[in-house]
Structure 1
Amino acid sequence: MDEPLAASLLLSREMPGGLARLDRASALHRIRAGAYVPRSEWEVLEPWRRYALRVQAVARTWTSPVFCLESAAVLQSLPVFGEPREIHLLSPDGKTWREGDVHVHGWNDARMLTTTGSLTLTAIEDTATDLCRVLPPAFGLAVADAALRSLGSAGIGLDLAARARSHANRRGLRQVDWVQARATAAAESPGESVSRAVIEWLGYDEPELQHEFHYEGVVDRSDFYWRSTRTIGESDGYGKYDADDPKTMKAQFVREKTREDRLRRYERGFARWDWADALRPASLDAKLRAAGLISSRLHQNAMLRTLASNPRSFAGRTQGNAANHRSKASGSR
């Protein structure tokens, strides 16, 4: 969780007099008992950042919490989709219970623990495995891809299937196997990961990831490339042009447009889509077909329907929202 966001959190026990006056004036939004944030900041936060503040509020008002599932993920910069309904903690005594939006899990299987700053949470390996059991499969794939990128940078591998089978809980094993067979560190954002799943379910051939092109003395990389039809796919909409400085944003946009024009001069097809397209299969399908791709297999409609909602997040706060995006640099990449 980024420090500026955590710094916005105000505790009534630390500011008893002034905080009460501000609350009466409706200048603060109450996250939970004793924890507030300036209302003006809360109202403009993306759903996953709201969730991060809710997690931080529990961290600062509960005694020695151990975070798991989405709550661990948001602290580890793994993808979190929309605003999850609950804060997830591990039970110290093996008992499962709830208090408000806090769900304490009494799992009997041991989890590896780690720390982030002063907070204790499940290690990335267990966070990813636990989430792959319960999230919609495309979202689970995004978590696994991100976990592989994080662990790979430290020279650590990840066998989700073996880790899941080491636990007594058999829930979601087939889904974990599905994710394990497809997870890769080469997908560089949640959008790319979800798009890979949708492309498969729409019946298209598997694309190459991060293919390099050497044209006009420049090396460019594409998110997706279908060599057989010389078609490029680009997954956008995850913060690529989110610079604070308008001049910087404009320069990034111009570089990206120059890059796209260069690639279009040499390749046959070019498809560009955003997060909303990835979650609407018909829209992504139309863009891929317009770029010259032809699906070679029947649609996997049951899998495509899993994109419609994420029961673990509030309704209406998942579509178009994925946390902790890693956007590539614009221009040559």
Structure 2
Amino acid sequence: MPHLLSDRAVTSSPVSLITTSEARMLGVPLVPSTMRRIRRGIYVRRAEFDHLPPWTKYAVRVHAFARLHPDAILCLESAAVPHGLPGFGETADIHVFDPERLRSRRFGDVFVHASHEPREVLRIDGVLVTGIRETVIDLSRVLPPARALAVADSAISPAQGGLLSLDELRTNAETQTNRRGRNRSRWVWDRAEGQSESPGESISRAVIAWCGFEAPELQHVFRYEGCEDRVDFYFRGNRAIGESDGWGKYALEDPAEGARILREEKLREERLRRNQHPFARWDLAGAQKVNPLVRALESAGVQRVRAAQPEMLATLRDHTREKPRAQRMNAAPSRSQTTRSA
């Protein structure tokens, strides 16, 4: 069974983890001004950690837990880290699967899950995780719908490194005896699309549908002026083009390469506009906020063909599985948690 998806897979901590014993041996002072405690006995350098994006901070926390508990089997969002499945925000809990446990239980910020369903277990660079198929199915049951769709798309999209088939996911999900979240899973399987090339495209596709806009064609190719241009979304009703931008596509780690890509992107957009295609752009944040995406599509003349679904749009504001903002300011578990934390 395949397990790694694209370059999103985080198979080791993004920043160096330092144990208390290592710090003593190396003479590293464990003072709050320079060091941040991630778990009991595990520290990172504050300057390296504090400016990481939320999903990367979560990856650090996951690997810190795995360092302390090498025999624990990660599942759900925690397994998604080494598998390379999309992450959103900083998940509140470390999720662990215990095949011997009869009942799920929380220990501080560690949630230990029990299940009667069989689980494939893999070891990725020394870290035990539930298999990619099981992880995707589990997440499809618990994540807000648009995010679950992004996870499923990534697992079946060749462009994102996905190696699973949609039929495989659907069939395995239906054979599970656990009925919790089954309707949510079915919604995901009915809409998952292997042509989606990024989580931003997946989220955007859900928002476009929930706002009542015409369903776009994905990855449509135009041939104008001797060039071949592939676009994220094509709205055939008025020939409009929609692009879900992600910073990664602009190679910001290489300024020269980023500038070259931006120039080519500008020429590409001008070429498509010259050939009578209205153009709309937004990013992942714009899709999640809804209004920026709506304004972009309306400015491009894309028509609504059905009523909006406000209850589905409201799920975009569901952050119940993430750390509250106040807690994100301090990544370490509180002293009261560490007394029972795994």
TM-score, L = length of structure 1: 0.89
Q: Residue 204 of structure 2 is aligned with which of 195, 198, 201?
A: 195
Deviation at 1:161, TM superposition (A): 3.5
C-alpha distance in 1 between matches for 2:128 and 2:159: 18
Q: What is residue 97 of structure 1 aligned with on the other side?
A: 105
Q: What is residue 33 of structure 1 aligned with on the other side?
A: 40
Alpha carbons of structure 1 residues 149 and 268: separation in structure 2 relative to 1, 3 Å: closer
Letter of the 2:132 partner, please give it. I
Letter of the 2:233 partner, please give it. F
Letter of the 1:306 partner, please give it. T
- The answer to whether residue 323 in structure 2 is matched with residue 308 in structure 1 is no
Alpha carbons of structure 1 residues 134 and 25: separation in structure 2 relative to 1, 3 Å: closer
Q: What is residue 337 of structure 2 aligned with on the other side?
A: none
C-alpha distance in 1 between matches for 2:26 and 2:154: 42
**Which shifted more, 39-48 or 94-103?**
94-103
C-alpha distance in 1 between matches for 2:261 and 2:12: 25
- The answer to whether residue 157 in structure 2 is matched with residue 149 in structure 1 is yes
- Structure 1 residues 112-133: Cα deviation after superposition (integer angstroms, max 9, x where no partner): 2222111121111111111011
Q: What is residue 325 of structure 1 aligned with on the other side?
A: none
The secondary structure found in structure 2 opposite 1:210 is: strand
- The answer to whether residue 287 in structure 2 is matched with residue 278 in structure 1 is yes
Alpha carbons of structure 1 residues 76 and 154: separation in structure 2 relative to 1, 3 Å: closer
The secondary structure found in structure 1 opposite 2:270 is: helix
- The answer to whether residue 235 in structure 2 is matched with residue 226 in structure 1 is yes
The secondary structure found in structure 2 opposite 1:251 is: helix
Alpha carbons of structure 1 residues 144 and 155: separation in structure 2 relative to 1, 3 Å: closer
> Is the 1:161–1:173 Cα contact (8 Å) retained in structure 2?
no
> Is the 2:217–2:233 Cα contact (8 Å) retained in structure 1?
yes
% same residue: 44
- Unaligned runs of 5+ residues in structure 1 are 318-333
Letter of the 2:66 partner, please give it. A
- The answer to whether residue 200 in structure 2 is matched with residue 214 in structure 1 is no
Q: Residue 69 of structure 2 is aligned with which of 62, 68, 76?
A: 62
- The answer to whether residue 268 in structure 2 is matched with residue 264 in structure 1 is no
Letter of the 1:304 partner, please give it. L
Q: What is residue 95 of structure 2 aligned with on the other side?
A: 88
TM-score, L = length of structure 2: 0.86
- Structure 1 residues 58-109: Cα deviation after superposition (integer angstroms, max 9, x where no partner): 1110140111100111111111110000011111412422222111101111
C-alpha distance in 1 between matches for 2:254 and 2:155: 31
Deviation at 1:267, TM superposition (A): 3.2
Q: What is residue 128 of structure 2 aligned with on the other side?
A: 120
C-alpha distance in 1 between matches for 2:158 and 2:66: 23
Q: What is residue 289 of structure 1 aligned with on the other side?
A: 298
- Structure 1 residues 201-239: Cα deviation after superposition (integer angstroms, max 9, x where no partner): 111121111111111211111000012311100001342
Deviation at 1:2, TM superposition (A): 4.2
Q: Residue 244 of structure 2 is aligned with which of 230, 235, 245?
A: 235
Q: What is residue 22 of structure 2 aligned with on the other side?
A: 14
Deviation at 1:6, TM superposition (A): 4.0
C-alpha distance in 2 between matches for 1:171 and 1:295: 34
Q: What is residue 108 of structure 1 aligned with on the other side?
A: 116
- Structure 1 residues 296-331: Cα deviation after superposition (integer angstroms, max 9, x where no partner): 1000111011011221112359xxxxxxxxxxxxxx
Q: What is residue 248 of structure 1 aligned with on the other side?
A: 257
C-alpha distance in 2 between matches for 1:162 and 1:316: 38
- Unaligned runs of 5+ residues in structure 2 are 1-8, 327-342
Alpha carbons of structure 1 residues 92 and 164: separation in structure 2 relative to 1, 3 Å: same
Letter of the 1:187 partner, please give it. S
Letter of the 1:149 partner, please give it. S
> Is the 1:243–1:249 Cα contact (8 Å) retained in structure 2?
yes
Q: What is residue 329 of structure 1 aligned with on the other side?
A: none
C-alpha distance in 1 between matches for 2:36 and 2:64: 12
Deviation at 1:278, TM superposition (A): 0.4
**Which shifted more, 98-107 or 69-78?**
98-107
Root mean square deviation, CA, Å: 2.1
Alpha carbons of structure 1 residues 155 and 66: separation in structure 2 relative to 1, 3 Å: closer
Q: What is residue 74 of structure 1 aligned with on the other side?
A: 81
Alpha carbons of structure 1 residues 32 and 144: separation in structure 2 relative to 1, 3 Å: same
Q: What is residue 145 of structure 2 aligned with on the other side?
A: 137
For these two proteins, the number of residue pairs brought into alignment is: 316
